[in-house]
Amino acid sequence: MSQNQNSDALSRHQFLRQLGMQGAALLAVYCAGQSLTACSKSSDVTPDPLTSAITVDLTSSTNSALKTVGGYIVTNNVVVANTSKGYVAVTVVCSHEGKKKVQLRNGEFYCPEHGARYDLTGKGLNSEGSRGLTVYTVTQSGNVLTIS
């Protein structure tokens, strides 16, 4: 073995040692990422952002549910509800496992899939709803609601 081959072997050893440490560091990062993913059931959950404002005509018969407190409609993946605090709009996509089942029930938002509960500000009220709900802005002009 020549001197040159010996120094190559040493540098290869050092290289592999460094790679091993980097590999361990990468593995630690990977595992940490995995454990975070495991804690989150919603990796595939992305509430549909509003790409453009939605308008709701309160005089339309299709929106008649909004005439009374406790009534709601679902339009364009948005739940529009007439609540004790006025009109509130939230995503229909539950933050628990992404089912499009959010509805208004007993003065709060609820997903019947596993029972997630959210208050009217979108704050989670139980473990299933702990990631909250996206709430949109509602403005009223006469008989027209604009959700953005």
Q: Which residues bind ligand FES (CB under 6 A)?
A: 94, 96-97, 99, 101, 111, 113-116, 128
Cβ 110 to ligand FES shortest distance, Å:
9
Residue 122's CB is within 10 A of a number of other CB atoms, namely 18
Cβ 129 to ligand FES shortest distance, Å:
7
Cβ 79 to ligand FES shortest distance, Å:
13
Q: Tell how many helices (H) and how many strands (E) occur in the chain.
A: 1, 10
Instruction: Decide whether 58 or 114 has the Cβ nearer to ligand FES.
Output: 114
Instruction: Decide whether 58 or 108 has the Cβ nearer to ligand FES.
Output: 108
Give exposure, 18-49, as e/b (b: 16+ Cβ within 10 Å). Answer: eeeeeeeeeeeeeeeeeeeeeeeeeeeeebee
